[in-house]
Amino acid sequence: MKVEDWTWGARHHARSTAIVGATGVTGVELAAILLDAGHPPERIACYARTDGALNVHGRRLPVAQMPSDPRSLAAYDVVFLCTPTEVSQALAPRLAELGARVVDLSSAFREDPAVPLVVPEINGRVLAGDPRLVANPNCTTAIACLPLAVVERLAGLEEVVIASYQAASGAGAAGLETLHGELRESLGLPRGHGRPTPFPAPIALNVIPAISTVGEDGTSGEERKIAFETRKILGLSGLLVESTTVRVPVERCHSVAVHLRTRTPLAPEALVAALRAAPGIAWVADPHGPRPRESAGRDEVFVGRVRAGARGPTSLAFFAVGDQLRKGAALNAVQVAAALFAAR
């Protein structure tokens, strides 16, 4: 697909959109992306558990209580579900049956073989079949897979080892509130009111070396997601994927240190040249970058520190950073919806 096929532009502005779960951090980011792309506010319907309003970049969007009858939601051209997994599991199939195009940002359908899991720059071609339900990937997976897809195209992938450094925003608004409150406490200031912490330990001035529930085998839920989703997005069912996922005291960008082996030798210089030309990727020449603070609020996945590994001519390493709320979630969802309409 061409880049313009997943760009939300003037031809999309006549489409009606609904954001369910609009008051969460991802829903707010999604609304901001649509508004910044010129989408008319009156064609953005926001839903949450209760009535209210969103103030996004100085613009007010009314928020309605989520309707009990899904047929009213199915009337929109596209429905973005920024909802908990159990809500998506109940709602998404019904909306799809009613004819809506649904982009689900939860983990509910990512492992379903009948539901496409899409990063448009990588496997957007699957949207040409006009699926009614599309799953948005895990944020860390989306960020890691953009440069990994470039490697796969050039030399094939044999093995991928990932260490992730994931921002507090990955745990939603409660994660951000916890980080900010604990940082205030560390300075001797009042913590302020906020939701209960979603973390198993303090996050400020700390790292937590597991994300989500840890199973009996010692693997965390986030690590299982990364392995399965990377294989599905890249179309490599036999790819060896290993990861350690770490929560760090960063606001909104996830970082990944990736070590890999290719099927055929690939010089670091050749990979850098391809990364510079790849859509959705920004090459960073700074030997001490990329970094999450400078990458926040940006659409690109920033990639740097490409170098040969220590395991022979098929061994490489790189470091990548992406905004978890944008390419890791809301931006990717908008790109999916844009491509769905291009396919019609």
Q: Helical H runs in the chain?
A: 25-36, 85-97, 120-123, 139-155, 172-186, 221-234, 268-277, 292-295, 331-342
Q: How many CB atoms lie within 10 A of CB 224?
A: 18
What DSSP designation does 330 have?
I
95/148 Cα distance (integer angstroms): 33
At the topology level, CATH places domain 3-136+329-342 in Rossmann fold (3.40.50)
Bridging pattern class, strands 253-262 and 315-323? antiparallel
pLDDT digits (tens, 9 = 90+) for 14-42: 999 999 999 999 999 999 999 999 999 99
Burial class (CB in 10 A: 0-12, 13-18, 19+), 161: middle
Matching residue, tokens 């990955």? 170
Between 334 and 57, residue with greater pLDDT: 334
77/16 Cα distance (integer angstroms): 5
- Give the pLDDT band (50/70/90) at residue 4: confident
Backbone angles phi, psi at 341, to 5 degrees: -70, -35
* Domains of the chain, residue spans: 3-136+329-342, 141-324
The confidence score (pLDDT) of residue 210 equals 97
Longest dimension (CA), the chain: 59
Q: How many CB atoms lie within 10 A of CB 299?
A: 14
How large is the average pLDDT for residues 111-126?
Answer: 97
Please determine, for residue 3, whether its predicted confidence score (pLDDT) is greater than 90: no
CATH for 141-324? 3.30.360.10
How large is the average pLDDT for residues 86-110?
Answer: 97
Burial class (CB in 10 A: 0-12, 13-18, 19+), 154: middle
Say if CB 30 and CB 46 are below 8 A apart.
no
User: Is 254 a residue of the active site?
Assistant: yes
339/344 Cα distance (integer angstroms): 9
- 165 forms beta bridges with 246, 255
187/101 Cα distance (integer angstroms): 48
Active-site option among 46, 139, 145, 253: 139
254/296 Cα distance (integer angstroms): 9
pLDDT digits (tens, 9 = 90+) for 183-235: 999 999 999 887 899 999 999 999 999 999 999 999 999 999 999 999 999 99
For residue 187, the number of C-alpha atoms closer than 13 Å in the C-beta half-sphere is: 9
The confidence score (pLDDT) of residue 203 equals 98
* 331 three-class SS: helix
The confidence score (pLDDT) of residue 343 equals 61
219/2 Cα distance (integer angstroms): 38
User: Is 139 a residue of the active site?
Assistant: yes
The confidence score (pLDDT) of residue 184 equals 95
Which pTM does this prediction carry? 0.95
344/322 Cα distance (integer angstroms): 30
Say if CB 226 and CB 141 are below 8 A apart.
yes
The confidence score (pLDDT) of residue 342 equals 82
Percentage of the chain surpassing pLDDT 70?
99
The confidence score (pLDDT) of residue 344 equals 62
Matching residue, tokens 């599905």? 232
330/224 Cα distance (integer angstroms): 22
pLDDT digits (tens, 9 = 90+) for 244-302: 999 999 999 999 999 999 999 999 999 999 999 999 999 999 999 999 999 999 999 99
